[in-house]
Amino acid sequence: MQSRKSHRVFAFLAICLTLFLLTFADAAIQSAGSAETLAANERLVVQLGLTDLCLFTEARYTRHPSQADLHSAFQDHPLGLEHFPSGSLLSPPNNLAASYENLDSKTKSAD
């Protein structure tokens, strides 16, 4: 039988679809295999009392975003805009601004 273009395309798409489905299978197999590593990391976090992931080591407010204070991004002087590249990837945690918003709404004296 003569090979038709549509048959070749369907075969190609079928291979792609199989690979696509295999990614789900691979994810399931790999995550089952790394349960032990995750548990070991969790133990390390408990033992050392770690609070953050070590994603960016260039600035303290991106190394430990959950521990940063509101002013640390502008650490050099009051008008010194933050200049670390990772500052543009990470936004400050919500709770940082939230505590100031709380104070703002409760203040009794006029600004």
Which residues of this chain interact with other proteins, rule CB under 8 A?
Answer: 4-6, 9, 12-13, 16-17, 19-20, 23-24, 26-27, 30-31, 34, 37-38, 40-58, 60, 63, 65-67, 69-72, 84-86, 88-91, 93-95, 99
Cβ contact 63:54 at 8 Å: yes
If DSSP codes are grouped into helix, strand and coil, which group holds residue 97?
Answer: helix
Please report how the helices 35-48 and 5-33 are oriented relative to each other, as an axis angle in degrees rounded to 10.
40
Encoded tokens for 41:
């990391």
Least separation, in Å, of the C-beta of 40 and other proteins?
Answer: 7
Cβ contact 88:60 at 8 Å: no
Closest to other proteins by CB, 30 vs 110, is 30
Closest to other proteins by CB, 78 vs 110, is 78
Least separation, in Å, of the C-beta of 68 and other proteins?
Answer: 8
Alpha helices in the chain (DSSP H): 5-33, 35-48, 60-63, 94-106
Closest to other proteins by CB, 57 vs 110, is 57
Closest to other proteins by CB, 51 vs 110, is 51
Least separation, in Å, of the C-beta of 53 and other proteins?
Answer: 6
Encoded tokens for 80:
């010194």
